[in-house]
Structure 1
């Protein structure tokens, strides 16, 4: 199955589809089928594949192990556009997941470049050119300052950022005003495919772990959950985290559940 957690997926004629900027050009990616190059030339964006068998499922609580075993092979498109990953993480700050998805779709549709039946996130230049009134019209007045601060920082530092390993990039992004550990870790995980830097004690991971395995007494506090999660994952922190998020994404599509708001 493909992991479809990114809010850039739109529905066209009953099919989920997404546009993605890469160094090679712009791609149109269906949830089922082959990616199509819309502009530019080169190879398709790489796919990161996470296999449940990479985990020692015997070391997990039985309920969680069963849930992850039912997923089968999981694939997730790595977001090759760091700006998209960063802007998306900012949009997801402090609002519920469903609201963030709708806001992301409207932001792209109104202000981004159209690609077939979908649209890209507005470029940093487009974001910086948007007025306070435009953000207000979109219901995004409280997102203007963090998005414009991130757009300016991206234009100044993207060449440098592109050379940094994931854990160092998480720290570098936090120098931007209104980008905290949650936003930085979420953006870098989306961009690199390395979910060991994802804030694995965030509300979404805790919610899906508890939903998949309600019989386990999961710690309610972040430090306690972090300690348990890291112990269970061992050397496979990225895999355990992304598979749990994949299970939650699939579960929410079948039985709509909103894990709640996320910090910065």
Structure 2
């Protein structure tokens, strides 16, 4: 019997940890941290080969059951299909980490409109729907946790990366609202906002850039805390404070726009 089969056929106690975007980067690092603490896992991502490679490593190193679900969460029916898959397998989700996301650096007028819709559906729509699908069972049990991975880009408008910034602002606002709604229920809700991190979406090292493992540590710490939103790394905490509360919106937007304009030129 495989690990995939076992997780669906035995009690998972406090519930498995469901992590989206788990095949690389921050998602894979979060899976590693939770597996090291003995959590059984449900890993979701589009790339089935990479996803299974992560699962096999975690099974071997940490002796935990891991279920992989290859799925493109930007598709309209994907969150509902995921929930049905886990229901049929008898999997109880105790911790939900909505990490899957994507960006497209460039001016909105230069991007395929269908691509804009796809990004918004993945970064914002899938997060809200997936949360709504798994939250009721957590509330009924009186325990659970939801981590929504936002971004420092959520704290100021992001010209030349406008869809990503706006979608992450949605995630941040949505999570803060949900945090208030769930106070006293036993369900922990928190948004974690990384800054620039070494991931396939943001490759290469640079001064100040964080590693996925550092972000994963922040996620684990945030689960133990009480705040509705946490920014990863002291430098990025300072940045979001200045951009979100000190600078006028026009100034913050101009500075952010210059940063992403340079990034767009580099991409081209």
TM-score bucket (shorter structure)? under 0.3
* Normalised TM-score (structure 2): 0.27
* Normalised TM-score (structure 1): 0.27
Greater share of helix: 2
